[in-house]
Chains A and B, each alone.
Chain A
């Protein structure tokens, strides 16, 4: 367990994981809707504050898992409650913790009926999501990974739009079916490693290539559906469109990241040989996703659908960055995960705000609102610019790093990815143009009111991070740097070891 730096003081990670759950228990006896909202805001807010403490205490100079905690859980199977964060997970944990209070705020007036169950679902989601990012025991990871399907299913199925039944079932079936074989892979890996479910134990082991490929495929199915990579993406537009605003934000900002996080945390270190072997296929699937997502987004009339398809494209960039296996690529991918979380989350919040006013997500119905909602369109403009990677915004840094890494890796691949960036600008500017100015026959928008204080407070922090990461990404990159370098060094060491082994034989 030398990769785990145990945390002797206050159990910060456990507090972050279980506080929302405690909050959901506190909600049970609460009667009034208003109090429910306040309690959930307090619980998520507290977790967000704890996450700041996590950032302050995080040591940038080590690749080991920090803030580690380990307790025996099911002794007969050697399953433990082990958690810790490293450079790969820290930003995602913090992002999750910081976004959740805004999900509560975004649901403040959007969710009018059954407020309490909704908030309970949100809080349980938060426990599961933070847990997934910090879990270092594979069973713990799997349990939280699957358990979050239930509250998310309910969020879509109860509070969703008109086709919520279809969307929620599709979401559930896709993600569950994808992760079934992951379970078999987990047990197989534990069996190979002396029945230990401790994730770092499983890394960099000399499994046979054929076994690695099967394991990789099990991983790939689970994670690629979650990302979602083309062609496993069809659940995403349906789920995004029908989910309530907070549900869309959680889906886009956090849930999708679990797939790419899974690739980084599991696929690369546990089955490196299979990763080298199958890398080209994954890369070209990413390119397909980038182009396909962009082209499809260009044709959408529904704003949520447009952003959903843009997510397919953006996540394609992330998987591209991960699987080119160089420093710029992976660092860019991790940063881009966070960027996508911030930007797309904010865009969904914006669409939600329009929807609350016009009760439609159609571009035609919302065209020309710029005249009456100047504050709103200012925010929207910044987030849209960020979405297609305008210099000075956060996504520019991430996309630039990924593309730079890709150029270093393979010129053809990089050239194939470039149209994606152009397409992103095209569909985002098209949406922006329609929403702000529209055309000659705009519907009458004079009844619209601009954003209120709560909504501005919801959006402003997102804008802060958009500009902060865009203008000064250094502190963020510094947090992930050591872990990424270590990962790549291990990868290279493993590769040369395997090469030496084949030469000997």
Chain B
């Protein structure tokens, strides 16, 4: 029972929200309800952290790895809920449904990180994906209907990625005769350099490349980020990526360390993501699109951490994706707080933010500097260790290319910071929405995590190493 408690709470929460959606709830009461439910999910996930066991005929494994990821997913969701504005972004008549789908999406992601069987992975992934596809389109109607376009694009690209995954699963099943990951690992041990096994594995990975937005499966990112409501984008930018990274770690760990061909392929994708993301971000004006492209480049770093095929590489990928989620959430917190009406922000909209709200300006600045990889923040420590591991494995050229990317990236991050601190009288008269205590609390918490993970990474690395140790 307690093995499955966070998921049960989520399920119950979505049922409650379904019941609520039948009436016409007030936005504020709905919001308080959602905050309470999410807090409950967070607390139970912490409670279930030390659980261990399997469920559903061994298709569902509860171990420190999955439980840690559940805590991460729950806390990231809680942060998004806390800072998302109470009105504006979401169509008023479907707000209850929106939160219901949010809960179903989170449920899918939590199930995903525990799944150790191909069909369970497929079901969990689709559960979360379809919920999020619908959430994207639930933005309050914009003039040109971009939310519909975004939802459609997300769906079509997503379905295609899923098709790849199913095709790949069929190969793997055909080769090993099992859908259980543990059996597959044993079966693949002799087959890893066979083209069929390689193609199968890569096609399964495509689905997670898509979720994590790795080049060349990133096409959905800019339009979906721009078209979705700000809080939805915040969710998409952080939470599914955490789960996708978890599954990537599980799957890549199956490929033997001798898989040099896979390593080279992944390396190309990683460096391609960095360059594509950073160079495209240089030209962006819309802040969410910019963060989307920055996310692509960071996904490249996560992938780069994985290709070392070693325990510390996986632990590092975990560390990096958590750091990335925190940094991105800090930026989205500012975006959401500035737009109670749910509009999109351009870089110029930050002009004079420092005058209007020093705390938000500080949050934005630290978030962006961290994303840019400036010490002493988590972005630097993560990047440093990725480069360190990469060089240790002899990928000197890739390390240099990654370092050059850091230099490219600083320009566009800095252009936002510049806007926040340059005092343009015309636009700085823009009215400043009142900040709730929840937002201040969340932003301070995020800042503390960003700095703590950057300055004292040792305990965080130890935790992630122990989590990785549980699945290897």
Question: Which positions in A face B, CB cutoff 8 Å?
Answer: 73-77, 117, 139, 142-144, 146-147, 149-150, 153-154, 157-158, 164-165, 168-169, 172-173, 176-177, 180-181, 183-184, 187-188, 190-191, 195
Contacts and interface: CB of A to CB of B under 8 A. Distances in A.
Contacts of A164: 422
A75 B458 contact: yes
26 contacts: A73-B456, A74-B461, A75-B458, A76-B458, A76-B461, A143-B375, A146-B375, A147-B375, A154-B421, A157-B422, A158-B354, A165-B418, A165-B422, A169-B414, A169-B418, A172-B410, A176-B374, A176-B410, A180-B403, A180-B404, A181-B403, A183-B403, A187-B384, A187-B387, A191-B392, A195-B392
Contacts of A176: 374, 407, 410
A153 B385 CA distance: 26
B88 interface: no
B403 A139 contact: no
A187 B461 CA distance: 19
Interface in B448-462: 456-458, 461-462
B443 to A, nearest CB: 15
Contacts of B462: 76
Interface string B326-358: 000000000000000000000000000010001
* Chain A at the B interface: SS class: helix
Contacts of A146: 374-375, 380
B406 interface: yes
B391 A191 contact: yes
B387 A183 contact: yes
B441 interface: no
B312 interface: yes
B418 A173 contact: no
A150 B418 contact: no
A139 B454 CA distance: 13
Given A77-B388, A181-B400, 4 more contacts: A147-B376, A173-B410, A180-B406, A195-B392
Given A77-B388, A154-B421, A158-B421, A184 B375 contact: no
Nearest to B422: A165
Contacts of B380: 143, 146
A74 B392 contact: no
B399 interface: yes
A472 B358 CA distance: 49
A124 to B, nearest CB: 10
A207 B421 CA distance: 46
B103 interface: no
Contacts of A172: 410, 414
Interface string B386-415: 011001100010011001101100110011
B405 to A, nearest CB: 9
* Chain B contact patch, size range: 35 or more
A173 B376 CA distance: 18
B192 interface: no
Contact of B384 (A73, A144, A150, A183): A183
A144 B417 CA distance: 21
A26 to B, nearest CB: 18
Contacts of A195: 392
A370 B203 CA distance: 80
Interface in B224-264: none
A217 to B, nearest CB: 12
A154 B403 CA distance: 24
A164 B312 CA distance: 44
B369 interface: yes
B412 to A, nearest CB: 11
Nearest to A182: B403
Interface string B437-472: 000000000000000000011100110010000000
Interface string B348-374: 000000100010000001000100001
Contacts of A153: 417
Contacts of A144: 375
Residue of B384, B391, B422, B456 contacting most chain A CB atoms (<10 Å)? B384
B399 A187 contact: yes
A114 to B, nearest CB: 9
Interface string B301-329: 00000000000100000000000000000
A132 to B, nearest CB: 12
Contacts of A117: 358
Contacts of B354: 158
Contacts of B456: 73
A147 B392 contact: no
Contacts of A183: 384, 387, 403
Contact of A150 (B369, B391, B411): B369
Contacts of A154: 421
Interface string B39-54: 0000000000000000
Residue of A158, A165, A173, A180 contacting most chain B CB atoms (<10 Å)? A180
A75 B388 CA distance: 14
B404 A173 contact: no
Interface in B197-229: none
Nearest to B454: A143
B376 A184 contact: no
Interface in B5-60: none
A25 to B, nearest CB: 12
Contact of A74 (B410, B417, B457): B457
A30 to B, nearest CB: 15
A149 B403 contact: no
B193 to A, nearest CB: 29
B414 A173 contact: yes
A177 B387 contact: no
Nearest to B406: A180
A173 B387 contact: no
Contacts of A73: 456, 458
Contacts of B411: 173
A143 B406 CA distance: 15
Residue of B354, B369, B375, B384 contacting most chain A CB atoms (<10 Å)? B375
Contact of B374 (A147, A188, A191): A147
B463 to A, nearest CB: 12
A126 B388 CA distance: 29
B28 to A, nearest CB: 33
B381 to A, nearest CB: 8
Contacts of B391: 184, 187-188, 191
A209 B358 CA distance: 51
Contact of B385 (A77, A165, A180): A77
Contact of B403 (A77, A147, A173, A184): A184
Contacts of A187: 384, 387-388, 391, 399
Contacts of B399: 184, 187
Contacts of B387: 183-184, 187
Given A147-B376, A154-B421, A169-B418, A139 B384 contact: yes
Interface string B67-78: 000000000000
Contacts of B414: 169, 172-173
A165 B414 CA distance: 11
A139 B369 CA distance: 18
A169 B418 CA distance: 8
Given A117-B358, A154-B421, A177 B458 contact: no
Contact of A177 (B358, B385, B407, B457): B407
A73 B385 CA distance: 14
Contacts of B376: 143, 147
B404 A157 contact: no
B458 A74 contact: yes
B379 to A, nearest CB: 11
Contacts of B385: 77
A177 B410 contact: yes
Contacts of B388: 77, 187, 190
B458 to A, nearest CB: 5
B452 to A, nearest CB: 13
